Amino acid sequence: MGSLNNKRVLLGVTGGIAAYKSAELIRCLQGEGAEVRVVMTPAATEFITPLTLQALSGNPVSLKLLDTAAEAAMGHIELARWADLILVAPASADFIARLCHGEGNDLLSTVCLASHSMIAVAPAMNKHMWENAATQQNLQLLREHAIHIFGPASGYQACGDRGEGRMEAPASLCTMASNLFVSGLLSGKKIVITAGPTREALDPVRYISNHSSGKMGYALAQAAVAAGATTVLVSGPVQLEPPERVKTITVESAAEMLNATLNEVGGADIFIAAAAVADYRPASIAEQKIKKNDDDMFLQLIKNPDIVATVAALPKRPLTVGFAAETENLEHHATLKLHKKNLDLVIANDVSDAEIGFNSDDNRVLLVQPSSSKALPTMNKHLLANKLIEHIASLLDTPPKIPLS
């Protein structure tokens, strides 16, 4: 059973007689501990007033995409980032069709397009509309896009028909929404995650680094918080906002990342090394900017500390997970890393693939363990992070590995 405690639910209301149930749904979601905001389509306002839903939610109701005041601050993007879950209830056949095909011609559909959050729809329509082949094809495509379908229920309909198509009862929708979250899976656990690149200074101006965006590590931190863990994120320099409800420590170099990690990993249950740490650093750092005096320049590099191997070798080690960013022989190299560094799990991905490589919003990974491997399909990094946290949590039930001597 999941939990909506401290979760942010964006309730989308579309046009249909079932819109009157949205008022009760708001109360139900709030009763489970969720903070609720509401977005209404123009048709929805014909069935229930925005003022009613504003009074119940305690937040202004968002109505228009082309709202000058809201869009000056990119309102639809702000809403998309705010939500842990977007729940569209009721979801009309028209809205489902538009969502299915990526249309963004009103505020609600645009927020859905811009969001990395989980999305669920609660269909509400006449039974013949529900049974229509086009509707069923649209729903199947939504499932393939990892959008959850809640219901519908069966019974008496406003038009006088009986059958499938009724919106699920608010209490049932609230339970379904709760079950989307794995909150409590890591309740009482501490998890430390590294993310992003490191920068190894050459002089006051230049440095050695890599293309890591930090997106995967930051998504893992958000998923860990959703799972109930006390979460620490040790981050190299990235262009990302620190996740809420996460202790974020910013560092530059590999040495700084190692020190910050060792300061936090004591007492941790899980350590995930998602950062792309520079393998080498300059043997010396010039005090002044190096001038371009010669055609060639030679640098002496020395090896950086191996953060994940250092943590894996601690006498009291947490469950230790490494990442392997490879360009060839993915499983082979990941397996070598697993055994060489004495890790519990290696999450490997092919960074030569432009669709899932550095800076991409999507990823496709191979999970490599001592006795098995499992491939996960391409998906959004936020969705992938939830699946990875679930898998890592399941490994806590196995005895920890003994550090190599």
Among all chains, which residue has been given the structure tokens 């060489």?
340
What is d(CA 131, CA 153) in angstroms, rounded to the nearest whole number? 13
Selection from 224, 242, 197 nearest residue 319 by Cα: 224
How many Cα atoms occupy the beta-carbon half-sphere of 289 within 13 Å?
4
Residue 366 bridge partners (DSSP): 348, 375
Q: Which residues of 292-319 are buried (b: 16+ CB within 10 A; e: fewer)?
A: eeeeeeeeeeeebebbbbbbbeeeebbb
- 343's enclosing H/E stretch is none
Task: Say how far apart CA 248 and CA 224 lie, in whole Å.
Answer: 13
Pairing state of beta strands 345-350 and 319-326? parallel
Q: Which of 338, 342, 320 is nearest to 330 (CA)?
A: 338
Kindly report the CA angle at 222 between 218 and 225, in degrees rounded to 5? 140
Residue 91: name the closest of 176, 16, 175 by CA.
16
Q: Three-state SS for 326?
A: strand
Q: Is 100 a catalytic residue?
A: no
Residue 62 burial class via C-beta count within 10 angstroms: exposed 0-12, middle 13-18, buried 19 and up: buried
- Please identify which of the residues 28, 100, 112, 159 carries the catalytic annotation: 159
Burial (Cβ within 10 Å: 0-12, 13-18, ≥19) of residue 39: buried
Q: What contacts 261, CB < 8 A, 6 or more positions away?
A: 192, 194, 234, 271, 307, 311
Q: Which among 276, 278, 216, 271 is positioned nearest to 243, based on CA atoms?
A: 216
Q: Are 235 and 220 in contact (CB under 8 A)?
A: no
Q: What is the DSSP string of 56-114?
A: HHSSPPB--TT-HHHHTTTHHHHHHHH-SEEEEEEE-HHHHHHHHTT--SSHHHHHHHH
Q: Which residues are catalytic?
A: 159
